[in-house]
């Protein structure tokens, strides 16, 4: 008789927080169930309390992996971007979240990993490793990576400078990038506020861009980042 082969979860010996911090994680059906249930509640909340309106969702590709890039003003941003995706894509969408903020204690890590399905991104250290995780995600079909190239939530409400990471990921590839702009999220729940206020939020999703002809060096990456920042910023200027 051939012996059975077992494939235990790779994080058996890790504590709960450690399991949430690791990536890729090994979720079981309870995690998927909790995430789907939370998404239904959160989507209803966003549409009811914040009157969330989404335009341009039809721009998002139906197949293949892609990146969503947006301005970052609030914890609501990620929930809004996730709400623009069909529910069946929910478990394949990975918002990059600061490891030093979201993956430190159990409550935050549980929210980030279970509800949002966040990818722990090292902002100060392990940047190269984090980018490699993103690259692997995008090489598999059907994944969505959500990035905030500003690297943190704005404190002024204005669009900050974009960091190079997103450029490094897509330069010289056919991976489509969807520039997105959120307005109202800063007024609804700025950094430091305890609880969201009932303000309207508008999410605009722009036309896809690809950067196959851009070289993966300092100059190419800089041009990509500027192009994306301009695209995101321009959507913010259009009148309602």
Partner 1 sequence: MTPQAAFHSEIFRVYSAIILGALTAAGLALAILKWAAGKEVKAVWLTYRSWLVMAPAALGCLFAGRVATIVFFCFIAILGAKEFARATGLYRDWWMTGAVYVGIVAMGVTCLIAQPQGLEPGHGWYGLFVALPVYIVALILLIPIVRNETAGQLQKVSLSIVAFIYLGWMFGHLAFLANAANAYGYLLFLLFATEINDVAAFTFGKVLGRHPLRSKISPKKTWEGAIGAFAVSMALPWLLRFSFPYFGPVQLALTGLIIGVGGQVGDLAISVIKRDIGIKDMGAGIPGHGGVLDRIDSLIYTAPLFFHMAGYYYDMR
Tell me the closest approach of the beta carbon of residue 145 to partner 1, in angstroms.
23
Residue 129 tokens, joined: 């490793």
> Residue 29 or 194: which CB sits closer to partner 1?
29
Instruction: CB nearer to partner 1: give 8 or 107.
Output: 8
CB of 10 to partner 1, least distance (A): 10
Contact 169, 175 (CB under 8 A): yes
Q: What is the DSSP string of 141-192?
A: TT-EEEE-TT-S--SSSS--PPPSHHHHHHTTS---EEEEEEESHHHHS-TT
Nearer to partner 1 by Cβ, of 14 and 54: the residue is 14
- For 5, 12, 25, 113, 137, the CA distances from 8, given in Å and listed in that order, are 10, 8, 13, 20, 22
The angle subtended at Cα 204 by Cα 200 and Cα 209, nearest 5°, is: 160
Question: Which CB atom, from 30 or from 195, has the smaller least distance to partner 1?
Answer: 30
Closest approach of partner 1 to the CB of residue 7, in Å: 4
Query: How many Cα atoms sit within 13 Å of 204 on the Cβ side?
Result: 16
Smaller CB separation from partner 1, 15 or 132: 15
Is 50:198 a contact under the CB 8 Å cutoff? yes
Nearer to partner 1, 8 or 141 (CB): 8
End-to-end CA distance of the chain: 69
103 vs 214 by CB, closer to partner 1: 103
At closest approach, how far in Å is the CB of 3 from partner 1? 9
Task: Please report how close the Cβ of residue 26 comes to partner 1 at its closest, in angstroms.
Answer: 7
Taking the complex as a whole, how short is the minimal distance between the CB of residue 106 and partner 1, in angstroms?
13
| DSSP codes of every residue in 98-122 | EHHHHSSSHHHHHIIIIIS--EEE-
Distance separating alpha carbons of residues 26 and 213, to the nearest angstrom: 36
Q: Rounded to the nearest whole angstrom, what is the least distance from the CB of residue 209 to partner 1 in the complex? A: 36
Residues found near partner 1 in the complex (CB under 8 A): 4, 6-9, 12-16, 26, 28-30
């Amino acid at each position: 008789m051939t012996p059975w082969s077992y494939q235990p979860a790779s994080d058996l010996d890790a504590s709960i927080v450690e399991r949430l911090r690791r990536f890729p994680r090994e979720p079981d059906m309870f995690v998927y169930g909790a995430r789907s249930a939370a998404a239904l509640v959160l989507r209803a909340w966003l549409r009811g309390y914040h009157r969330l309106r989404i335009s341009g969702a039809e721009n998002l590709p139906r197949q293949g992996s892609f990146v969503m890039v947006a301005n970052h003003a609030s914890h609501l941003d990620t929930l809004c971007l996730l709400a623009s995706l069909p529910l069946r894509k929910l478990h394949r969408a990975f918002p990059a979240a600061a490891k030093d903020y979201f993956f430190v204690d159990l409550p935050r890590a549980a929210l980030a990993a279970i509800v949002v399905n966040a990818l722990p991104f090292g902002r100060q250290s392990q940047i190269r490793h984090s980018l490699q995780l993103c690259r692997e995600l995008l090489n598999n079909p059907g994944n969505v990576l959500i990035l905030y190239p500003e690297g943190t939530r704005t404190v002024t409400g204005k669009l900050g400078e974009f960091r190079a990471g997103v450029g490094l990921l897509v330069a010289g590839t056919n991976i489509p990038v969807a520039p997105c702009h959120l307005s109202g999220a800063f007024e609804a729940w700025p950094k430091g506020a305890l609880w969201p206020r009932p303000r309207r939020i508008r999410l605009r999703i722009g036309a896809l861009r690809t950067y196959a002809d851009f070289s993966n060096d300092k100059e190419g990456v800089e041009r990509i980042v500027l192009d994306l920042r301009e695209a995101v910023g321009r959507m913010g200027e259009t009148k309602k």
